[in-house]
A = this chain, B = another copy of it.
Amino acid sequence: MIVLKLGGSVITEKDRAETLDGEALGRAADAVAATLEAAGQGPGGSEDETADLVIVHGGGSFGHHNASEHGVTTTDGTHDAAAALEIHGAMKTLNQFVLTRLLERDVQAVPVHPFSAGHRDETAALEFPTGQVETLLAEGFVPVLHGDMIAHAGSGATVVSGDELVVELARDLEADRIGLCSTVPGVLDDADDVIDRISKYKDVESVLGASDATDVTGGMAAKVRALLELEAEASIFGLEALDSFLRGEPAGTTIE
């Protein structure tokens, strides 16, 4: 089972509000469709062989503009339903674009909107039941989740990032591999070369800095730290290496 994150910056034009990067999304959808077809799914395949791929996408220029307009983050919430719906709606619009591109390529993609499914408790811990995702997978669907709003005990509704969902799903569903398709070809060292493997945070502290846990939606340091805590092997790579990752070949930086 693979959990694949498509970075919001990969599939949208991050500097222009609510603007898709249609070409990049098309390339990502091509790679997913080719992998599933090769695995026996898709137009030529048998229904018995299931895909076992979960996709999570970020918000890019869809969610982030709306969220910052309303001052909503992963920790600062809102009790204003209209504000929550504006952010949630922007993410659903992007999700619909992603689904459409996948369906056009005969990928049996269906949406799972996190705002409808999960919540945070009083300690801000994410509770995300995954029975629906497991059932969809077993039935041969490709569940597509996304960064979203989420009910948050004591704070109204806050943001849940795609990265948080990836970690939660990988743990709950006992993923074999995790892929983070990003705008960079991997974790870069001081000379801007891709670091092949990371097995302890200490190895990369000099380049990524001693990030603390507050950096939830953000930077590379938080991603690497979260991925190091998981059982599954994770890779961080650029769009050009998505094919390789999905075929099971080395791609970008591998985090053990």
Contacts and interface: CB of A to CB of B under 8 A. Distances in A.
Interface of A: 47, 79-82, 84-85, 88, 99, 103, 107-121, 127, 129, 131-132, 134-136, 138-142, 150-157
B135 A47 contact: no
A138 B119 CA distance: 12
B118 A111 contact: no
A156 B129 contact: no
A180 B157 CA distance: 29
A151 B139 contact: yes
B116 A139 contact: no
A90 to B, nearest CB: 14
A108 B85 CA distance: 10
Given A79-B140, A139-B156, A151-B139, A111 B103 contact: no
Contacts of A119: 131-132, 134-136
A121 B114 CA distance: 21
A152 B138 CA distance: 10
Contacts of A134: 119
- How many copies make up the complex? 2
A243 B139 CA distance: 43
Given A79-B108, A156-B139, A151 B132 contact: yes
Contact of A47 (B79, B117, B157): B79
A103 B83 CA distance: 11
Nearest to A81: B108
Q: Which of A84, A88, A111 has the most CB of B within 10 A?
A: A111
Nearest to A151: B135
Contacts of A150: 132
10 contacts: A79-B108, A79-B140, A80-B108, A82-B103, A85-B103, A114-B116, A129-B131, A135-B153, A136-B157, A140-B156
A132 B153 contact: no
Contact of A131 (B103, B118, B157): B118
Given A103-B81, A110-B84, A111-B115, A141 B135 contact: no
A105 to B, nearest CB: 11
A139 B109 contact: no
Nearest to A116: B116
A35 to B, nearest CB: 17
A153 B39 CA distance: 22
A235 to B, nearest CB: 27
A11 B25 CA distance: 38
